[in-house]
Structure formats: structure tokens, C-alpha cells
Amino acid sequence: MELFTERGYEQTTVADIAAHAGLTERTFFRHFADKREVLFPVGTWFHDLFVEPVAAAPDDISPIGAVTRALATAAKTMEAEPGRENARARHRIVASNPDLLEREVGKLAGVAAAIAAAQRGRGVEEPAASLTAELCIAAFRVAFERWVADGETRSLGELIEESLEGIAAAVA
């Protein structure tokens, strides 16, 4: 992040990153699949936040209800864990490079697919499973984009709620 904010993502080589971190280029690639991956959380972060809650939702919760609950808890975690300023700094870098943006939406698409699978696991039929998953990610993406925008002060939770209400209002 330091190097990226100083000279920019493309002007920073992974040899630079490795040297700055005190290790070898080869070792870098043993920890991260590729250069972009340094900017994305490792492990099961996304999974724990988005798909686990959906998979664990009780049977009497509707498909849209399951993703709504997941979004609410995810919002709380994200406000605390990386923090808003960290998210803003990271977002500035990601937004500055097409490859990084692509990776970001790719990750979210992967999460959407996992949510859809979780929905199917709770007995939701197919068009609904994928649609509610995509809805969830769409609501999150729009809310997150506003959350990290300059001058925005409302909480991520509020913005997600507003997204969900906006969707309901749009299709009404």
C-alpha cells in the first residue's frame, strides 16, 4: 500500500514490493497468486462474511431475507475490521487501475456464485438462488461505492439498507 500510494500500482514492480518487505520475488509469489492479489484479503474472509450466514439461515427465512441478514452482519464487520479509512485508501488504488477493478468485480462475482450455491443448499430453486445472490452483491457494491466516496458520512449499514429499499422501490 505504501509503495502503491507513492508511485502508483503500475509503476511498482513486484521486485520492489519484495525488496521493501525484505524477501525474495519468488517468496512473494508463494504467498500471493499474482501481483494484484496483495490488495485482496486472504483466507475465508468473503466466505465467512457473505456465504456462511446465508448457508446458516433457518429454513423459514425467505431467500431475500437470508441475503439481507448476511448483508447486515457484513456491514457491521466491515465498519470495524478494516475500517473506513483503510477501505478508502485501498479503494483509491483499486479504482486507479483497470486490472485491479477487474479483479475486484471478479471476486464479487465469485462470492455471488457461492451465495447462489448456499441458497440452493437451503432448498431455494434455481432462478431465485442466483437472482437473490446477484441482488445481494449488487446492493452491496452500490452501497460500498458510496461508502468510500469523498464526503460520505453515513454508515455502510445505512447505505446498504438504502440500496435494498431502492431496489424494492424500483421494481415496485
- Chain residues binding DNA by CB under 7 A are 12-15, 22-27, 29-31, 33-36
Q: What is the DSSP string of 109-136?
A: HHHHHHHHHHHHHTT--HHHHHHHHHHH
Distance (Å) of CA 162 to CA 30, 112, 127: 41, 20, 25
- Interaction pattern, residues 80-99, with its own copies; x per rule: CB under 8 A: ------------------x-
How far is Cα of residue 69 from the mean position of the Cα atoms in its chain?
A: 16
130: phi then psi, degrees, rounded to nearest 5? -70, -40
# of chain residues touching its own copies (CB under 8 A)? 33
Among 63, 74, 78, 147, binds its own copies (CB under 8 A): 63
The answer to whether 163 contacts its own copies (rule: CB under 8 A) is yes
**Binding partner selected for residue 35 from its own copies, DNA, none, CB under the kind-specific 5 to 8 Å limit:** DNA
Distance in Å, CB of 17 to DNA, minimum? 8
Which CB sits closer to its own copies, 56 or 109?
109
Residue 84 CA from chain centroid, whole number: 14
With binding defined as CB under 8 A, does residue 119 bind its own copies?
A: no
Sole binder of its own copies in the list 135, 148, 156, 160 (CB under 8 A): 135
Candidates 18-26, 47-55, 80-88, 131-139; binding stretch for its own copies (CB under 8 A): 131-139
Between the alpha carbon of residue 67 and those of residues 57, 105, 167, 169, 172, the distances in Å are 9, 18, 14, 18, 19
Inter-residue contact 47 to 114 (CB < 8 Å): yes
- Grid coordinates given for 8: 502508483
Nearest distance in Å: CB 36, DNA:
6
Joined grid coordinates for residue 146: 458510496
Which spans of this chain sit near its own copies (rule: CB under 8 A)?
A: 62-64, 98, 101-103, 105-106, 108-109, 127-128, 130-132, 134-135, 137-139, 141-142, 145-146, 162-163, 166-171
